[in-house]
Amino acid sequence: MAESDDDTSDGGRFSYHSEELRGPISSSDEENESVRVIYPQFNAEAQFGEVRLAVEMEFATLAEFKKAVKDYTIHIGRQIKWIKNDKVRARAKCVFEHCKWEILCSRSSITNSFQIKTFENTTHSCPGTFTNSQADRKWVIEKLELRLRQQPSLSHSEAYYLMKEDYNLHLEDSMIYRSLKQAKQNVEGSEIDQYAKLWDYCHELLSQNPGSTVKMSTIPQQEGPPIFHRLYICFGASKRGFKEGCRPIIGLDGCFLKGYFGGQLLTAVGGDANNHIFVIAYAVVDVENKDYLFRDYLF
C-alpha cells in the first residue's frame, strides 16, 4: 500500500508510514464473516537458492525476514541497501538509483507477525555482481559451518571455490581465511577450552574404564592455571587384549600434531593374530626424547 504523500520527515518516499494490507483479514459477507484469510508462510528451512519472497508473506521475526532477503539477493547477484531498519519494520532497495526493486516488511497488528507489505519490480533492471556487501563475515561463517559438518577437512582453496561455485561470490583470501578459522572453531570447539577440560576427561576415563592408566603432567604457574605438559593413556581393555591375543612384541611410533599448539603423538602398538595393528597405549608430548618411556606406565 502506498505511503502518505505528506510523510516527508525522513527521506520522502522512503519514510515509514503505518501500512496495512490491501486485502481484509476476513470477508464482510455474512456467510464468510468468520473465515480468516490464510497468508503465505515463509519456509525457515529453505536452503540457499530456494528462498522465495512474495507480498503478504508472513515471518516469525524481523531478523528472519532480513536473513531471507540477504540469501535471496546474494543468490540473484544483486546489491541492496537498507533504507529503514529498526525493531518494527525494514525496507530494502537496490543500490542502483535507476533500479526500482524494493521490499518492505513491517509488523502486522492483526496477525501479530511480520509481513511483506511492499515488493515492487521483482526483476532487477541493474547488472549482476560477484561481490556483495551483504555477504559479510557472519554470513560466510554460517555457510562454511554447514560444509564443515559434512567435510571436516575443508581447506582454504576448497572454501574459496565453494563460495565461487555454490554462492556465486568472489571473496578475498583474507575473508576466507578468517571466516574458515572461526567456522572450524565453532564446529570443533576452541582448543584452549578443550585443554581446560582435560582433568575432567581423565577422571571420566578412570571412572568408566576400570583398570586403565591415565597420567597427565602440567607445568605450575605462579599466576593463572597450570599449563598442559604431557598426557599418557592406556585403557584396561587394551592391556588385557595385548596379553591375551597379541604377539609378545611391542613397537613404538610417533607423529607430529598439526594443531595450533603442536606437539607429538607417541604410540605403543602390537600385532594381533590377523597381523593387524593393535594399539596398546598412546601419549601426547611436546617433543620425543628419552624422558617418555612407555615401560614406566604400561603394566
What pLDDT is attached to residue 190?
76
* DSSP string for residues in the chain: -PPPTT--SSSGGGS------SS-SB--SSTTTTPBPPPPB--TTPPTT-----TT-EESSHHHHHHHHHHHHHHHT--EEEEEESSSEEEEEESSTT---EEEEEEETTTTEEEEEEEE--S--S---S--TTS-HHHHHHHHHHHHTT-TT--HHHHHHHHHHHS-----HHHHHHHHHHHHHHHH--HHHHHHTHHHHHHHHHHHSTT-EEEEEEE--SSSSPEEEEEEEE-HHHHHHHHHHB-S--EEEEEE--STT--EEEEEEEEBTTS-EEEEEEEEESS-STT--GGGT--
Q: Is the pTM of this model over 0.85?
A: no
Q: How far is CA 201 from CA 46, 64, 185, 209, 249, in A?
A: 39, 39, 20, 12, 30
Q: How confident is the model at residue 35 (pLDDT cuts 50, 70, 90)?
A: low
Residue with more model confidence, 176 or 125: 176
Displacement of CA 83 from its chain's centroid (Å): 28
What is the b/e burial string over 27-44, where b = at least 16 CB atoms within 10 angstroms of the residue's CB?
eeeeeeeeeeeebeebee
What pLDDT, in 10s, does the model give residues 38-62? 888 898 888 888 888 888 899 999 9
CB 139 within 8 A of CB 68: no
* DSSP string for residues in 61-79: SHHHHHHHHHHHHHHHT--
Query: Which candidate, 123, 85, 118, places its Cα nearest to that of 3?
Result: 118
User: pLDDT > 70: what percent of the chain?
Assistant: 84
Which positions ≥6 away from 69 have C-beta within 8 Å? 53, 80, 90, 92, 103
What pLDDT is attached to residue 298?
46
Greatest mean pLDDT among 52-56, 168-172, 278-282: 278-282
The residues pairing with 58 across neighbouring beta strands, listed in sequence order, are 41, 115
Q: Average pLDDT of the chain?
A: 81
The residues pairing with 174 across neighbouring beta strands, listed in sequence order, are none
What pLDDT is attached to residue 122?
67
